Amino acid sequence: MSVVTRFAPSPTGHLHIGGARTALFSWLHARQHGGRFVLRVEDTDRERSEAIYVEAILEGMAWLGLGHDEGPYFQTQRFDRYRAVLEQLLASGHAYPCYCSRERLAALREAQQARGEKPRYDGYCRDREQTAGSEGDPPVIRFRTPREGSITVHDLIRGEIVFDNAELDDLIIARSDGTPTYNFTVVIDDTDMGITHVVRGDDHINNTPRQMHICQALAHAPPAYAHVPMILGADGKRLSKRHGAVSVLQYREEGYLPEALINYLARLGWSHGDEEIFDRDALLAHFRLTAVHKAPSSFNPDKLLWLNQHYIKTLPATRVAAELAWQMDRRQIDVREGPTLEAVVEAYRERAKTLAEMAEGSRFFYADPAEYDPKALRKHLVGAEAVLDALTEQLTAAQWTRPALHEAVEAVATALTLKLGKVAQPLRVALTGTSVSPPIDVSLELVGREATLRRIARARELAAGLAA
């Protein structure tokens, strides 16, 4: 049997961390078995679904490299199919119209709660002869859940989970306006799309027996299920915005590499010995759905940041540069004139923890400082006129290679009997507007001769003004 998995987000928000992990696990399982990975957009909630979120989900999936083989399918384009199956269930007696008014259901719920019972539909319309308008018009459609026996979910992560049918009420599968509900549409979609394995969050566990009952009513074998535990924040509560970034694209904006996020998400609830670093090939070799932990996982931002720094240091410069280009474009930094982004990556990869930090730090390679740090000016340019004059002379004549530039700066320090820092720091402020940059010879080489001499001249003017 060919393995077919799916990721089925609702476009009511951005692609979040929990959804991305589910997508990753589904994608890995399909790829490991030479199967297919389907993307389905569950957009039947018309009030909350928005096109902007569809775009964000697709962009997030593409950025993570979780390409789908089929789709995206949209549930709103399948209403005719749902209507046909609904009529089939009504005709076979597996579904029935329910005319109970909202007032009756509210009173029922209130009475059950007063008795300490779990609120559930009592089956009032289940076996009654109904006519339109008898108690509520139009009706909802409910599924006739078996009342006897039990149903067992063979979960790939949690093992067998047994549900007593008597605890499951007759769920609504179509609203009074005719729109189908989640537990109904997902069964039809999974069946029609040939889904063999459903990987999803454990908040869906209670939906699973209901969906299996619908499968049985339609004489379809249910898929295998794997319910992934939720992700918690450091405080032990469910991960949310109060814990920091939860949107995948927000992590992109903050300068994380997709390789780092994929690695971290895979390890969030799964392990393979004591190993921490897993590129995509390693995940495909070692990941197993059955090895996913049953307990919730805690999100650790420091571990993700550590992984991001690891990948910045170790990935090929061309790969990191491709992501850095997006950061530079977002900041409207024109990189057409200046060093290659690969050279910038090599200059910063040992210093930067994020690509956002790298992009901000490398502005000076492409444009003269728009402003200068006042503290750096006072500390390093006051009285530095002689240093800047000597640097101008040396750098004008120097070959523009890193070793020659290093020798030129050292020559100025020797000639003026100064420590190297007393020469390098005024030069650094002239180049960057701050007192922080990669090594001075690296910075000089990447800025270039013309821009360096121009910036030293500007710093010389500032130094003279400070001394006045």
Q: What is the pLDDT of residues 294-311, one digit of tens each?
A: 999 999 999 999 999 999
Residue ranges of domains in the chain: 4-72+183-232, 80-174, 368-468
Write the pLDDT tens digit of every residue in 69-128: 999 999 999 999 999 999 999 999 999 999 999 999 999 999 999 998 889 999 999 988
pLDDT at 334: 96
pLDDT over 70 (residue 241): no
> Percent of the chain at pLDDT above 90?
90
pLDDT at 466: 81
Please tell me whether residue 95 adopts helix, strand or coil conformation: strand
In this prediction, residue 464 has a pLDDT band, given cuts at 50, 70 and 90, of confident
Tell me 155's DSSP state.
E
CA dihedral (170, 175, 179, 181) positive or negative: negative
- Residues 209 and 133: their CA atoms lie apart, in Å, by 32
Fold agreement (4-72+183-232, 368-468): no
For residue 55, how many other CB atoms are within 10 A of its CB?
11
In this prediction, residue 131 has a pLDDT band, given cuts at 50, 70 and 90, of low
Give, in order, the Cα–Cα distances in Å from 122 to each of 12, 165, 246, 275.
32, 14, 40, 52
Please tell me whether residue 449 adopts helix, strand or coil conformation: helix
* Three state DSSP letters for 102-154: HHHHHHHHHHHHHCCCCCCCCCCCCCCCCCCCCCCCCCEEEECCCCCCEEEEE
- Residues 338 and 443: their CA atoms lie apart, in Å, by 12
Q: What integer best gives the mean pLDDT of the chain?
A: 94
pLDDT over 90 (residue 243): no
- Please give the CATH topology (third level) of the domain spanning 368-468: Arc Repressor Mutant, subunit A (1.10.10)
Write the pLDDT tens digit of every residue in 335-391: 999 999 999 999 999 999 999 999 999 999 999 999 999 999 999 999 999 999 999
Q: What is the pTM of this model?
A: 0.92
pLDDT at 465: 84
Instruction: Please check whether residue 104 is in contact with residue 74, taking contact to mean a CB–CB distance below 8 angstroms.
Output: no
Q: Domain 4-72+183-232 carries which CATH code?
A: 3.40.50.620
Tell how far CA 331 is from the center of its chain: 21
Residues with catalytic function: 241
**Could you tell me the two tokens for 362?**
């490398």
- Residues 102 and 137: their CA atoms lie apart, in Å, by 11
- State the average pLDDT over residues 129-142: 70
Decide: residue 281, CB within 10 A, 0-12 exposed, 13-18 middle, 19+ buried: exposed
Residue position matching structure tokens 């990447």: 446
Architecture of domain 80-174 in CATH? Answer: Alpha-Beta Complex (3.90)
Q: With CA atoms as reference, report the closest residue to 463 among 408, 362, 391.
A: 391
